[in-house]
Amino acid sequence: METEKIYDLIVIWSWWAGKIARPAAERWLNVAIIEKDKLWWTCLNRGCIPSKMLIHPADVMQEIREAKKYHISVNAPTVDFGKLVTEINTSTDSTSNKINDLYNSSKNETLDYFHGQARFLDNNRIEVNSQVISGKKIIIAVGARPTIPPIEWLEATPYMTSTEALRNKQLPKKLLVIWGWYIAVELGHAYGALGSNVTFIVRWWLIWNVDSEIKEEFGRVFKEKYNVLEWVWTHKVEYDKTRKEFTLYYTQNNEEKAIQWDALLIATGVQPNSDTLNLENTDITTNKRGFIEVDDTLQTSLPHIYALWDCIWNYLFRHSVNFEAEYLYKELIEDNNLKPKNQISYPPMPWAIFSNPQVAWVWKTEDELINEWVSYIKWINKYQDSAMWDALKSDHWIVKLLFDKTSLKLLWAHIIWVEASNMIHILIVFITMWAKLDDILNIIYIHPALPENVRNAARNAKKAIK
């Protein structure tokens, strides 16, 4: 084992190198980055970016199939799925390799890159590749990985998680998706629109903790395209190697049933990668599910160690952890504090589900407001009330606004439609800037652009108040 080296900053996992580690090194701090997988592993290689590169072609395929509603005749479209996935992976791998070359460059005088598994020896020392290092400050950003449910015999089958689904080059004729949350409906839609016959096995209902009215509309539209079995309890799964076929045994409505399918995608959520760090050798505390506990400055139970991203379970988004990383950089590096002087204060947090239709919202659901006894005013603008409805021929669209009843400030917003993740941004700005109902109405909206539906919802809310 080599002699211990002491760094000003150690960042465990590479995605935050650009937000924290490299800027710190540019300030001539001695910095170490530890990464056990590919650089920028999750978002670039098995998450946000490749999934959207697969979902967009799926949306295009769906538009082609629906072209007849515009009196456009199109022959049955097909996709070279293997070529598409190869192109996606080539692109993301190329970017990762370029970053690898950058971090291995001899020009990085104050930055060392370790490709290996970080393991804590005690509260201060970390072992990586048989070398021991320590840091005056340490930031843990190890993220999370797909969780595997305790379904009997599952481990003996060639099932896919999101990681394999984004690298799989064979489009199955029939795909079984277990769960109905973000990753499930996104990747299930991608495979389904590109040609697979997809069935969803859902414990409760689709996108279960979204606003009830949005959830109901999403389910109505989604179930027109895909087979969804809700309130299902799975027992065991078998795989016939000769027939290359999965058999899933489950219970629904108190009846024992079985279903045979060609491929199986497990998308039942994530678990933190904190269990890979040997935290039992430290005084860092975790909750029952293994997520690292932090205070309102992202500090762990040790004063020199901080944690962010999926491994702390605040928010599981790339955009939220960008905010966390920028906060830590400013507080610890830019302002040169021994510890943050200011608590982290999250602005209104936006969410988006990139399925078809898309769903996006900011902050709380109406259900939460009811449970919290909040006084509010709401208005919903549906697709029939849209100036673009005749052009788009959409059979689903909801813009839902929730205002504080006393101040008339816009506090919460929800959208369902194919452009929801873009449309929601005007509402993110309104909510962040504490805009009131009249503020939303006192701007000019391009006609007949989609944001007019925000204005229309606000107009109708004002009429309802009067």
CATH of the domain at 89: 3.50.50.60
**Residues 13 and 27 both lie in one domain:** yes
Quickly tell me which residue has 């009330």 as its tokens: 385
Which tens digits make up the pLDDT trace of 359-381?
999 988 999 999 999 999 998 88
pLDDT for 107: 63
Mean pLDDT for the chain?
A: 91
Which tens digits make up the pLDDT trace of 69-112?
999 999 989 999 999 999 999 998 888 777 777 766 656 789 99
Q: Which domain holds residue 166?
A: 154-268
Would you call 216 helix, strand, or coil by DSSP? helix
Q: What percent of the chain has pLDDT over 70?
A: 94
Sheet harboring 245-252: ordered strands across? 232-240, 245-252, 255-261
Q: Is the pLDDT of residue 36 over 60?
A: yes
Q: Is the pLDDT of residue 384 over 70?
A: no
**Residues 239 and 174 both lie in one domain:** yes
The answer to whether 194 and 81 have CB atoms below 8 angstroms apart is yes
The answer to whether 187 and 53 have CB atoms below 8 angstroms apart is no
**Residues 54 and 35 both lie in one domain:** yes
**Residues 50 and 12 both lie in one domain:** yes
Backbone angles phi, psi at 305, to 5 degrees: -120, 130
pLDDT bracket for residue 2 (50, 70, 90): low
Q: Report the C-alpha gap between 323 and 23 in whole angstroms.
A: 15
> Residue 31 pairs with which residues in a beta bridge?
9, 111
**Residues 33 and 89 both lie in one domain:** yes
Q: Report the C-alpha gap between 44 and 50 in whole angstroms.
A: 7
Which tens digits make up the pLDDT trace of 115-173?
999 999 999 999 999 999 999 999 999 988 999 999 999 999 999 999 999 999 999 99
Which tens digits make up the pLDDT trace of 175-204?
999 999 999 999 999 999 999 999 999 999
Q: How many domains does the chain contain in total? A: 3
**Residues 124 and 11 both lie in one domain:** yes
Whether this prediction's pTM lies above 0.85 is answered by: yes
pLDDT bracket for residue 46 (50, 70, 90): low
**Residues 219 and 74 both lie in one domain:** no
Sequence length of the chain is: 466
Q: What percent of the chain has pLDDT over 90?
A: 75
**Residues 110 and 6 both lie in one domain:** yes
Beta strands 174-178 and 144-146, pairing class: unpaired
Indicate which CATH number applies to the domain containing 428. Answer: 3.30.390.30
Among the candidates 247, 268, 289, a domain finishes at 268
Q: Is residue 349 part of a domain?
A: no
Compute how many other C-beta atoms are within 10 angstroms of the C-beta atom of residue 40.
22
Q: Is residue 34 part of a domain?
A: yes
319-325 average pLDDT score: 90
Would you call 253 helix, strand, or coil by DSSP? coil
User: Which runs of consecutive H residues, i.e. helices, occur in 2-80?
Assistant: 21-26, 48-65
Question: Is the dihedral angle over the CA atoms 408, 413, 416, 419 positive or is it negative?
Answer: positive
**Residues 312 and 447 both lie in one domain:** no
**Residues 85 and 167 both lie in one domain:** no
**Residues 329 and 212 both lie in one domain:** no
Encoding tokens for residue 115? Answer: 């490709």
Among the candidates 319, 334, 349, a domain finishes at 334
Q: Which segments of 110-154 are extended strands (E)?
A: 111-115, 119-120, 125-128, 131-140, 144-146
**Residues 228 and 298 both lie in one domain:** no
